[in-house]
Structure 1
Amino acid sequence: MSKFDKPFIIFGCNGGFGTIFTNKLLSEGVRIIGIDLHNNASNSEAPIQYLSNPSLDDNAELQRAYSEARGIILATPEDVSIEILPHVLKHAHPESVVMDLTSVKTNIAKTVSDLNPQCGYVSIHPLFPPVPDFSGRTVAYIELANNASADLFLSLLDSWGATVVKMSAEAHDKATSVTQSLPHAALLAFGLTVLKSGVSFETIWTMSTPIQRTMLGLLRRVAGRDELVHFDLQNTNPYADAIRTELSSSLKLVSQASKEEKPDDFILIASEINAMLNAVQHQIDQVAANIVNLTPRNQKSRPSDSLDDLEIE
């Protein structure tokens, strides 16, 4: 028997992580009641029960689902999750656990606190793309209201091999301002600088070093897809503006050190950074080695070539 012998309701069940959680819970024997604007689970491994009417108001079918479900997942954007939370928490069974998958936690945590839920509530953030295998992948876990169903869901994440990091909403947003907002902003600024350099991109691509190609590949991931998601990471994280300001300040320090007659300040900056990186020396050295071994499969590749033309040995 599944750890959860009652169904889960999944809002946004046909989205990226909606599909992932649908399939993983189905594999655990959990029955899924799906709510989505598009009732076609093309990526789902098994049929799920769709509500015929996804409207939240005066929906007897949804009320029956609430009374039966012991898990409710909001696999929806932050604004949608916050909008529907009052309705969900009003009707959720006291023994159920409600979960959101938002990337920024401050606003959602305040909303939940104001609503004072009578059920369990956890706000999780898978720090990886929507992929089926959670093994060794980090999931931030913010527990806002505990109950037995919340504990059961935590045990499921553990059984899937996820590295669960428990933290507060504030600690999460401070950390992700550095791990997400900062690198994304730095990459976009790097891309703008390349764009404004006056050097043709064909020349830049042909003459690019392994580090340059790595940065261009990362830039493609940030600028080339999910622009609204990346905007939200900059716009809604309350610590993102300060970290962008610090990025600008740090660039000025590097620029100033590069203008000095002697390299002392420049070497000091590099030394302080290396001391930080030594905390994970083995892992970071392996990443650095992979970048050095990044070579184009086709030396005559053009700027329009796919990133698949790059091979990490």
Structure 2
Amino acid sequence: MTTVPYPSERHAIVVGAAGSIGRMLCEQLSASGLHVLGVDLATIQAPQGYDVMQGDVCAPSPLLCQRLATAHLLVLALSEKVLLQALPGLLPHLALDCLLVETLSIKNTFATLIRDVSLPQAVAGLNPMFSGDLPPEGRPVVVVPYQPDAALDDLCERLESRGMRLFTLTAQQHDHAMALLQTVGHSMVLAFGHTLAASGVPLAQLIELGPPPFKVMLCLLARMMTNHPDVYWEIQAGNPASATARENAFAQLQRLDIHARNDAHVEFLAAMASLRNHLEPAQPQLAASCRQLFEVIQAYAPGPMGEGAGLSSHRDRIDRIDDQLIDLIAQRLDIIREVAGSKKGSSTAVMQPERVRQVVSRCTKRGRTLNVPAELIEQLYHAIIEQSCQIEYDVVGGPRQTLLDVTPEVFSQTGVR
């Protein structure tokens, strides 16, 4: 990740800064070089890198109105209901060159509003396709350009500089895509959860006996329960394409039920073959990823609700994690061999000091959130990257350099020699 060399006098306000998406955008926009003010009705603990203000955007204070007048970017990371209540009180204070951005899960209502109300400002929508507590590097973000201009180009460059992958859609394309990407999956997980709750079987017993697919579904359900219910309500009720998506999913369940009740084995096999064909050519890689996911689920699975776990059980879990580590390192080195072939074909140097800095910095930051010592991460990645470079030298050729020769400052804190 890099910091975009834009003028340092540009200001951004992110409303909803206490939420996961608002907080993530505060952090990422600040890291891109903007002066960021995070605003929320809730109290926000003093963060690093940006300012915060407690306030009600539905009744903005004089101080907030002053800050709005100087903002180059206003991000409304709010629910649709609150956003529509707040807009009339915010718009009169915005400068003409301020880019207005929403982060709604569904875009159709806002798109209609922007079409019917002629705003002088540039307007866009964002939808990060991940929760804000996850690192954004490499993850997709949908951009909906309602009224684009150079300010939106500026924002997109900043987000890309932080490692996010941007995809531009219209509001209609966005909502149709979300019906498949979110409505169907969320509704199935919720139905799964309600079925378990209505069964009367103790959850602890189900967890202890459950196979990996069951545990994955249960983890998805638990993850959904950490977010505000309104997020999922807007996806199900606010998207005009959601009803059709649920109807189609329900029809497939009914089809399966008919096959099973009528002993239609041949029809069932034909349906499975059709799915297999639909998944090609991604099926092998998806199946391999699922196997790794199952291993992770099993490795972190508790004993009888966390009690009675003996030393042997702990060691088994550690062994499974070690197996995963070796598998992942092997996959990384295989990709490095592909990179080496690409570098040889394009006459690209093996040593890329800035890339080394980015990798170690990103992994160290991620490790910090998981209480993994920075020294351990630096030592681990010194060994991994050094081996990767040697693989590339074997393919590319040329004089060899060591990491400590090229990027000594990256590993100076850990005693690596």
TM over 0.5, shorter chain: yes
Partner residue in 2 for 1:87: 89
1:267–1:26 distance in 2 versus 1, CA, 3 Å: same
8 Å CA contact 1:137–1:163 kept in 2: the answer is yes
Partner residue in 2 for 1:15: 19
Partner residue in 1 for 2:157: 155
Partner residue in 1 for 2:304: 302
Deviations along 1:127-146, one digit per CA (max 9) or x if unpaired, are 10113732110101100001
1:259–1:49 distance in 2 versus 1, CA, 3 Å: closer
Local SS of the residue matching 1:293: helix
Deviations along 1:230-253, one digit per CA (max 9) or x if unpaired, are 222212122212211212111010
Aligned residue among 117, 120, 130 for 1:118: 120
| 2:19 counterpart letter in structure 1 | G
Q: Could you tell which deviates more after superposition, 3-12 or 212-221?
A: 3-12
Alignment of 1:36-75 (within 5 A): 36-42=40-46, 44-48=47-51, 50=53, 54=56, 60-75=62-77
1:189–1:49 distance in 2 versus 1, CA, 3 Å: closer
Aligned residue among 26, 30, 44 for 1:26: 30
| 2:37 counterpart letter in structure 1 | I
| 1:45 counterpart letter in structure 2 | Q
Q: Per-residue deviation at 1:208? A: 1.4
8 Å CA contact 1:210–1:294 kept in 2: the answer is no
Q: Could you tell which deviates more after superposition, 123-132 or 275-284?
A: 275-284
Partner residue in 2 for 1:107: 109
C-alpha RMSD of matched pairs (Å):
2.8
Partner residue in 2 for 1:280: 282
Q: Per-residue deviation at 1:8? A: 1.0
1:279–1:116 distance in 2 versus 1, CA, 3 Å: farther
Q: Per-residue deviation at 1:212? A: 1.3
Higher RCO (Cα < 8 Å, 6 or more apart): 1
Alignment of 1:226-265 (within 5 A): 226-265=228-267
Q: Could you tell which deviates more after superposition, 59-68 or 126-135?
A: 59-68
1:20–1:259 distance in 2 versus 1, CA, 3 Å: same
Larger helix proportion of the pair: 2
In our comparison, the structure showing a higher alpha carbon Rg is: 2
Local SS of the residue matching 2:9: coil
Local SS of the residue matching 2:303: coil
Local SS of the residue matching 1:161: coil
8 Å CA contact 1:3–1:152 kept in 2: the answer is no
| 2:17 counterpart letter in structure 1 | C
Q: Could you tell which deviates more after superposition, 212-221 or 57-66?
A: 57-66
Aligned residue among 185, 198, 206 for 1:196: 198
Q: Per-residue deviation at 1:254? A: 0.8
Local SS of the residue matching 1:164: strand
Alignment of 1:134-213 (within 5 A): 134-213=136-215
For this pair of structures, how many residues does the alignment match?
308
Deviations along 1:88-121, one digit per CA (max 9) or x if unpaired, are 3333222121111111111111122222221111
8 Å CA contact 1:211–1:291 kept in 2: the answer is no
Q: Percent identity?
A: 21
| 1:85 counterpart letter in structure 2 | L
Unaligned runs of at least 5 residues, structure 1: none
Local SS of the residue matching 2:282: helix
Local SS of the residue matching 2:289: helix
Q: Does 1:269 align with 2:271?
A: yes
1:291–1:14 distance in 2 versus 1, CA, 3 Å: closer
1:304–1:121 distance in 2 versus 1, CA, 3 Å: farther
8 Å CA contact 1:13–1:75 kept in 2: the answer is yes
Q: Which TM-score applies when normalising by structure 1?
A: 0.87
